[in-house]
Amino acid sequence: MLQVQFIRENQEKVLAGLQKRNFPNAETRVARILDLDTQRRELQGQLDRVLADANQRAKAIGQLMKTGQRDQAEIAKQEAAQLRTRSKELTDQLATAVATLDEWLVELPNVPHESVPAGTSADENEVVREVGEHPHLPTEALPHWDLIRQYNIIDFELGNKISGAGFPVYKGKGARLQRALVNFFLDKAMEAGYVEVQPPILVNRDSGYGTGQLPDKDGQMYHITADDLFVIPTAEVPITNLYRDVILEKDELPVRHVGYTPCFRREAGSWGAHVRGLNRLHQFDKVEIVQVRRPEESYQALEEMLAHVEHLLQQLQLPYRVLRLCGGDMGFTSALTYDLEVWSAAQQRWLEVSSVSNFETFQANRLKLRYRPEAGKKPEILHTLNGSALALPRIVAALLENNQTPEGVRLPDVLHPYTGFASIE
């Protein structure tokens, strides 16, 4: 959530950023937020003055009683009672003003970083670089949904029977490949200095609000209504919320965490080749990296996280490209996002496998996540970052398609110690 003070002091920058996002009625919304903040300030000022007057009346009553001026004391008591009534009215009005202001603020997305290109859709994302050569497959090469059926490693029909579309069952070498990739990604993250955590996969409403999934993505999350809990769409939510309402000391920074969780998303879709097989699921596995950094370090940290994900793809020998998302394709909470896509040789298309984002203060402001730069000094707000490192379904799809041979699918050497086998035959 943007801070009102930031909006007030950087109104032109905020409006330009919202325009880059193609955010509707930006000027009207920002003006309304500033008006509401002015009302809040005026009410707070009135309340402070009334409380100060009430405090003075209370002291005066005691003094008047001591000196025997009972008539004047009774008048002061009546005035104090009127002030208490007025303070109650102002307190209620202030609470309403604050709640209304928050309702408007939570609907405002983050301001994009200056490097974010303008654009309205994914077609206008900027290609930063492309790495690796596209495999040349024989004409009889199969897409991954045919390969998994041929090798009996993933069963969509069985998953559909148990749960519904988008919930596959991994079997045999398919299940072992999943576990191998998770362990490989976790090990590489820990080698890079990340501390592993295993968070809950159910979160409360405050956690969803803290990282910005709520209210923005309320309809895309699975909701357990009886307990008002949400099944996580990404480990970013519980891991980042480890630091909700926390003031970190300077020597506790930077925070680097990695965690594996299943992820659940309702918006998987149900038709077309772009959602077929493993391309889009309701449930999938993902390893997530999260950082909490001082503002002056966060963009260097973002580049380090991007390099980490790129190194994973290089070790898996998958051709990939890096995209800088345009304003119209960015997530609600992000200031800058890099997407990484791998080349699917059988489908002849790019598949997104990771997003690496800097949220600047947007999440930290909601989370009330701060740090103390020096002992005795006022706490300052931090920056949060996260990245997929990596999401498994499309990695598996690309590994199967790009490495298929007449004898079977040959896996990259780096995975052999994790899988216990070199190929799927």
370 is an annotated ligand-binding site residue: no
**Distance separating alpha carbons of residues 250 and 240, to the nearest angstrom:** 18
Q: What is the pTM of this model?
A: 0.92
> Do 58 and 138 belong to one domain?
no
Report whether 409 belongs to an annotated binding site: no
Please give the single-letter amino acid code of residue 352: E
The answer to whether 386 is annotated as binding is yes
| 114 within domain boundaries | no
% of the chain beyond a pLDDT of 70 = 98
| Domain edge (last residue) among 76, 105, 134 | 105
Per residue in 252-286, pLDDT (tens digit) is: 999 999 999 999 999 755 445 567 899 999 999 99
Tokens 């202001």, residue? 101
User: Do 260 and 230 share a structural domain?
Assistant: yes
What is the dihedral angle through the alpha carbons of 275, 280, 282, 287, rounded to the nearest 10 degrees? 180
One domain, residues 79 and 156: no
Same domain (yes/no): 131, 83: no
Q: Is 66 a member of any domain? A: yes
Question: Is the pLDDT assigned to residue 227 strictly greater than 60?
Answer: yes
pLDDT at residue 101, as a whole number: 97
Q: Is residue 321 marked as binding?
A: no
Cis peptide before 373 (omega within 30 of 0): no
**How many separate domains does the chain show?**
2
Does the annotation place 401 within a ligand binding site? no
Residue 117 resides in a domain? no
Domain end call among 79, 105, 131: 105
Residue 293 labelled as part of a binding site: no
The contacts of residue 276 (CB under 8 Å, 6+ apart) are: 143, 145
Q: Tell whether residue 267 is among the known ligand binding residues.
A: yes
What is the pLDDT at residue 268?
53
Q: What is the mean pLDDT of the chain?
A: 95
Q: In the structure, what pLDDT confidence band is assigned to residue 376 with cuts at 50, 70 and 90?
A: confident
Position 110 in a domain: no
354 is in an annotated binding site: yes
Q: Are residues 98 and 142 in the same domain?
A: no
Q: Is 266 annotated as a binding residue?
A: yes
- The H or E element spanning position 181 is helix 173-191
- Residue 204 among known ligand-binding residues: no
Question: End of a domain among 105, 130, 163?
Answer: 105
Of the candidates 206, 135, 204, 153, which has an alpha carbon nearest to the alpha carbon of residue 405?
Answer: 135
Total residues belonging to the chain: 425
